[in-house]
Structure 1
Amino acid sequence: MKNYFKILPILFLSLFIISCDDDNDDDGVCCAGSSIVDLASQTESLSTLVSALQVTGLDATLSSPGAFTVLAPSNDAFDAFLTSINATSLEDIPVDVLTNVLLNHVIIGEVQSNSLTNGYASTQAISGASGTNMSIYINTDNGVTFNGVSSVTSADVVASNGIVHIVDAVIGLPSVVTFALADPNFSSLVQALTAYDYPQSFVGLLSIPAGSAPSPFTVFAPVNSAFESLLEELGVNSLYDIDEQTLGAVLSYHVVVSVNQMSNTLSDGMVITTSLAQANPSIADLTFNVGDNGEGILTDNNGRTSNIIAVDVQADNGIIHAIDTVVLP
């Protein structure tokens, strides 16, 4: 599918990429001095990061011309990460896994802190669900936080081949739940997912890692205003006024299992079988169409429509597309 969607501005990051070209070779900042790896090696609090780069061979990559932006976890951040995964040292982590985790801290181009806004960028980590680069959510409401788990403690450390921002936590490989929790535009969705003790926990289901059934997942995620409109449509005051069975069915109608449905694989008239429709053949599938202005539109079982307003938030175990209306089975 080719550029069918209007992108929701508040969800996406506008990056100002600075390159080392002939125009700034003599400015004393971009292209002179130590590489990212050199700077890290000269910083005592980044010694574990340097060891990790050496173990994975990424020290050579981040010593090359670049340009790169590196979110550099401190030694304390690595200690906490190792504890969280019941590891005692970097050697306990398979090299391929450690490599991908480190790449989740690397963005191509130089991203200065003053160019960051709330939204998504792409890291160099590869999704197990798609084989493409993963997304990272950046929140600048109170400092700078990545994926809701890691905050910048020292910004804009300039190297000859990029920029380093030192962070206080390792940014693990994200699930679709990671982005739902991190992105405030999905706070009502999180409330719905956790409103009841569902027979099948939605958070547990959508946290199943890549490579384990029934992942990967495609989630058509209603933004907060979509839930506000739903409450008004149903004449209720809160999500808790919707009974557990009904709300659970509605949520299942937004999830597709065993598929990482990227936007470029959607086509006009395509039928999308949701988790709910798969379990209940009497429930109609969603239908995807392209609107007159090139926008993506979902039509539900009741003939109601929902615009797809942001696409391809790529997690390790699936993908999210944001929609402006809750679809109903």
Structure 2
Amino acid sequence: MSALGTSAAGCVPLGRTEVTVSRIGLGTAPLGGLFAPVSEDEAAETLAAAWDAGIRFFDTAPHYGAGLAERHLGAFLTDRPRAEAVVSTKVGRLLDPGPATSGGEGFFGAPDMIRTRDYSSAGVRRSLAESLERTGLDAFDLVLIHDPDDHWEQAVGQAFPALARLRDEGMIKAIGVGMNQSEMLTRFVAETDVDCVMVAGRYSLLDRGAADELLPLCLARGVSVLVAGVFNSGVLADPRPGSTYDYAPASQDVLRRAMELAECCRSHGVPLAAAALLFPLRHPAVTGVVVGARTPAEVMENVAHAAMTVPEPLWDELDAWGRS
């Protein structure tokens, strides 16, 4: 049997929908060239390692490498039973031909495409049609409104109703919102009937802001929470000079705090990365975590960390640290 198992019993329902996701999902931003380019072969090997380890939930987006991650994922799934995989993508950024800058928005090796924010009904329909073409899939299981930070009115007034109609028509099984903040996610949960939210970086060992309002509200309303950015884009995986926090170089204060957490974990014989990955899963509102990887070795390390047992005294210390 694979490391995580693949049966339905090993999965968790997504909100009130029929979609079930594994507690650990693979985020494909690194396979779109986040921070460094990734070849087609490297992406295929990483996805194969995830599949062999029992991971069946894959999260992608047009933003990740200007469509490159979607293409890599779609090519891989061509030879796998589609019914076994749960695939999520996102809307809110349209891609048009144009000169690409190496490292633009943190992605390297991306095709010559320009991202344009669009949360209109027409933009949602076009985005999904183009994502289906890039992946070669006939449908997505979950679609998320992606980073509508400065576009609340259009996102709630057009993007959400468009996705809700597609859900009602059975074209999409589940809908939600994915962001790097918790405040607007809380508002979406309070004012719409999203099935889930994906909160990146705001429920981690370093930043527990989502626990104040978002997670309790999701629990009360039966909305699933998927937590991404459990390593805060790198510093909680390997805290050292040059580590990144929220996709930018970590400040000295953040690096110091991450090193304190690493020492605390080390004193209990637990890698910091393992505690960071498992921490969100302790909350009853959290359905699963989505963790990115760019190599098979990173996949296997994440899977090994997910299987670890963290002693309660360490959780007690980390909880106390978070309250200080």
Q: What TM bracket, shorter-length normalisation?
A: under 0.3
TM normalised by structure 1 equals 0.25
TM normalised by structure 2 equals 0.25
The structure with the larger Rg is: 1
More strand as a share of residues = 1
